[in-house]
């Protein structure tokens, strides 16, 4: 334990000290430059370490991944677009894409609806009750997806009919005279995929609640009171006044969750590892690279995922700029 603490302290000292030394040397280099060149080049010199890190850890791996997506499994020879055609023509990958599409369609919308409902209801509580309720609702987000998978594993667990059912759902089913069900193996109508989505909704509801609750509290009281005086019902006030005024927050939550859903890995990997028709893109990438040792397929999957994410991120950046411009 003591060795780990010492190593951690040395890492912090070396990291901070190294950064200080680098920027000190860059500053000295700028001071050596003649005339106005110091003022002109100093900002770029200070940006140099960050740009170098971005180039080394982001740009270079991205370019390398694109190149490897056109190579064979061992990245030793180019095979053209074979990886893409093989994946897109595979029924297994088509099922993976369909599952991912379901996650994209259902989960962000579900998080918005659930977060909005919880935010609206908790805002009606007294301050103490509101803080307590929001703390417990936000708590799942703090424990992480792997821990959530372990918790919900007990909810969905199925023991043989001759044994006691420790899984919550099967305990209820057996209590009403039914037989235990292997919930995560029901691929009909993608029931198991929907059950995995429930875990994600449980995790992200607190995140949506916090942002949307703050947005709702920011709606001017005068506007709401004026609507009530004009005879508007609470439903009309909510959908015609509150929702339009928190539109930016709704879009922010939706895009953030959407990007997170595209990278969903932990829950599916922990609960099913993509078996029983629950596979998603991130899990398929992991299995292609580390289980099947097929770097070509894995790189092609990543490239396709990036292509899908770029328009979403561009839209999010434009929304942020529009929000800043309207302030």
Provide mean pLDDT across the span 254-276.
91
pLDDT, tens only, 123-153? 888 888 888 999 899 989 888 888 899 899 9
Question: The tokens of 151 are what?
Answer: 């918790």
3-state secondary structure at position 41: helix
pLDDT, tens only, 165-218? 888 999 999 999 889 999 999 988 899 999 999 999 999 999 999 999 999 998
Backbone angles phi and psi of 78, in degrees to 5 = -80, 140
Residues 6+ apart with CB under 8 A from 202: 140, 148, 152
Give the confidence band of 86 by pLDDT, cuts at 50, 70, 90.
very high
pLDDT number for residue 316: 80
Tell me the whole-structure pTM to 2 decimals. Answer: 0.85
Question: The tokens of 31 are what?
Answer: 């001071």
Could you tell me the CA-to-CA distances from 307 to 66, 93, 260 in Å, in that order? 11, 17, 15
Provide mean pLDDT across the span 306-312.
88
- Can you state the percent helix, strand and coil of the chain, rounding each to 5? 80, 0, 20
pLDDT, tens only, 88-109? 999 999 999 999 999 999 999 9
Which helix (H) or strand (E) covers residue 257, if one does? helix 247-262
Provide mean pLDDT across the span 70-77.
92
Answer whether 216's CB lies under 8 Å from 208's CB.
no
Give the confidence band of 45 by pLDDT, cuts at 50, 70, 90.
confident
């Amino acid at each position: 334990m003591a060795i780990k603490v010492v190593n951690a302290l040395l890492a912090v000292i070396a990291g901070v000290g190294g950064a200080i030394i680098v920027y000190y040397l860059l500053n000295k280099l700028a001071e050596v430059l003649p005339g106005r060149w110091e003022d002109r080049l100093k900002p770029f010199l200070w940006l140099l370490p960050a740009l170098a890190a971005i180039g080394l850890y982001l740009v270079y791996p991205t370019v390398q991944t694109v190149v490897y997506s056109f190579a064979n499994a061992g990245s030793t020879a180019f095979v053209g677009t074979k990886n893409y055609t093989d994946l897109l023509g595979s029924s297994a990958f088509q099922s993976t894409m369909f599952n991912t599409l379901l996650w994209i369609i259902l989960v962000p919308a579900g998080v918005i609806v659930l977060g909005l409902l919880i935010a609206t209801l908790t805002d009606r509580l007294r301050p103490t009750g509101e803080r307590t309720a929001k703390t417990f609702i936000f708590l799942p987000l703090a424990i992480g997806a792997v821990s959530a998978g372990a918790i919900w594993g007990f909810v969905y667990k199925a023991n043989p009919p001759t044994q006691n059912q420790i899984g919550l759902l099967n305990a209820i089913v057996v209590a009403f005279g039914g037989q235990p069900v292997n919930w995560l193996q029901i691929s009909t109508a993608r029931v198991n995929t929907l059950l995995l989505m429930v875990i994600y909704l449980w995790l992200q509801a607190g995140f949506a609640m916090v942002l949307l609750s703050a947005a709702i509290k920011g709606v001017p009281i005068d506007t709401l009171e004026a609507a009530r005086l004009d005879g508007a019902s609470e439903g009309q006030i909510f959908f015609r006044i509150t929702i339009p005024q928190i539109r930016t927050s709704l879009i922010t939550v939706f895009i953030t969750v959407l990007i997170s859903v595209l990278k969903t890995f932990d829950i599916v990997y922990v609960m099913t590892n993509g078996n029983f028709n629950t596979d998603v893109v991130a899990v398929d990438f992991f299995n292609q690279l580390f289980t099947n040792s097929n770097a070509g397929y894995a790189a092609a999957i990543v490239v396709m995922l990036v292509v899908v994410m770029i328009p979403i991120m561009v839209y999010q950046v434009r929304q942020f700029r529009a929000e800043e411009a309207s302030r």
